[in-house]
Structure 1
Amino acid sequence: MAKAFSAGRRGITGFLEPAERDLLRKLFADIITMLEPERPAHEDPLAALIGLDMEVQVPSDPALLRLLPHAVKNDDDSALEFRQLTERSLRETKIGALRAASLSLESEKLVLDPESAKLWAMALNDVRLVLAERLEIRDEEDAERVHEVQDWDEADDVESYLSLVYNFVTWLQESLLQAMLSELTRGK
């Protein structure tokens, strides 16, 4: 059984069972697959260097749109222009965090320095955003419905299983953020 992250002298530590590590590895890999651009970086080396992508489109998958939301509301032209200027680098940043978190899953005991804790928090957040979209969590009532499923033996359909995974990732992220806050207050 996983142990919550905690702050200590060696950094932020946590413990995950092999099955939990496998689950997280698969979740991270799924999100990476979602985020990988359909086309390679622009042929223009300068455009590739600065992350410019004039061919980018608004994601049709609602979960991907949740990861890459509109930056400008009520102005489709400005939103698309901003997306062209930033989306490729945002995707790369998210993929980097997911890969870094996945690589650290090699041992049962996790020891995170401040930078790797930040990457883990980003990765867990992206997983939660996708799961929340798949579970159609829009308000407090939807969140309550998801939290009702508490036992893996009760998971008899996809939604129940995803609810349990969402609850596990939420718990893990919450314990990580609490440990990060402890590190900050202890460092003062």
Structure 2
Amino acid sequence: MAQGFKKTRKGIVGRFEAPEVQLLQKLFSDVAGTLEPQARPDEDPLAALVGIDQDASEPTDPALKRLLPAASMDPERAEEFRRLTDRSLREAKVGALKASSLALESDPVTLTVEQAQDFARSLNDIRLVLATRLDITTSEDAERVGEQVDFADVGDIHDYMAVVYNFVSWLQESLMNALLKTL
């Protein structure tokens, strides 16, 4: 069973069993795959290199909308901001997710402060996706989902996502507490 993260002299350390590592790596991979910018054959390579995406539009998937929200209530400003930042934001998130997955290869998982910050951002992205899929929009919704705490109680996909959401939330909390101790 996971022991969560703790601040040590060697860094921020977490211990996980193999199934927990596999679950987290799958979650990191799934969210990264959802965020991957799609290359287009007619794309201007210079624009792609500097992160400009002429065709960036607001995502239709509610989870992606939560990960990549509009930057303004003004539709024109939001569209312009998205055009200038969407690709680089996606690439930064994907990079953090992949680095977090790679960090799980060591036993115990030992993170520097910078790696721990990326790991925390990655866990948060997973939580946002799961929260969207679970319809968590209020603190009452989160409390309702928080009642689902044991894999033995899983009866359907919704229950499974709730248990995974709770695990990721607990893990993120332990990581944030360890990070606070580095200040």
How far residue 41 of structure 1 moved from its aligned partner, in angstroms, is 8.5
- CA–CA separation in structure 2 for the residues paired with 1:77 and 1:41: 27
Distance in 2 between residues matched to 1:42 and 1:35, nearest whole Å: 20
Q: Distance in 1 between matches of 2:4 and 2:101?
A: 18
TM-score normalised by L of structure 1:
0.94
Q: Which deviations, in whole Å up to 9, do the C-alpha atoms of 1:89-122 show, x marking residues without a partner? A: 0000000000000011113311001111111011
C-alpha separation in 2, matches of 1:53 and 1:41: 13
Give me the whole-angstrom Cα distance separating, in 2, the residues matched to 1:143 and 1:71. Answer: 25
In the alignment, structure 1 segments of 5+ residues that lack a partner are none
Q: How does 1:65-144 map to 2 (within 5 A)?
A: 65-73=65-73, 75-144=74-143
Q: Which digits, 9 at most, give the CA deviation of each residue in 1:31-57, with x for residues without a partner?
A: 011001233487323312220001011
Aligned-residue CA RMSD (Å):
1.2
1:57 aligns with 2:57: yes
Q: Distance in 1 between matches of 2:181 and 2:42?
A: 43
- By how many angstroms is 1:155 displaced? 0.6
Q: Which moved more, 1:100-109 or 1:13-22?
A: 100-109
Q: How does 1:15-26 map to 2 (within 5 A)?
A: 15-26=15-26
**Mapped partners of 2:146, 2:2: distance in 1:** 18
Q: Which amino acid aligns with 2:47?
A: A
SS of residue in 2 equivalent to 1:111: strand
Aligned residue type for 1:101: S
**d(CA) in 1 for partners of 2:40 and 2:174?**
37
CA distance in 2, matches of 1:105, 1:7: 17
Residue equivalent to 2:27: 27
TM-score (norm 2): 0.96
Q: Percent sequence identity over matched residues?
A: 54
Name structure 2 gaps, 5 residues minimum. Answer: none
Moved over 2 A (4+): 38-46
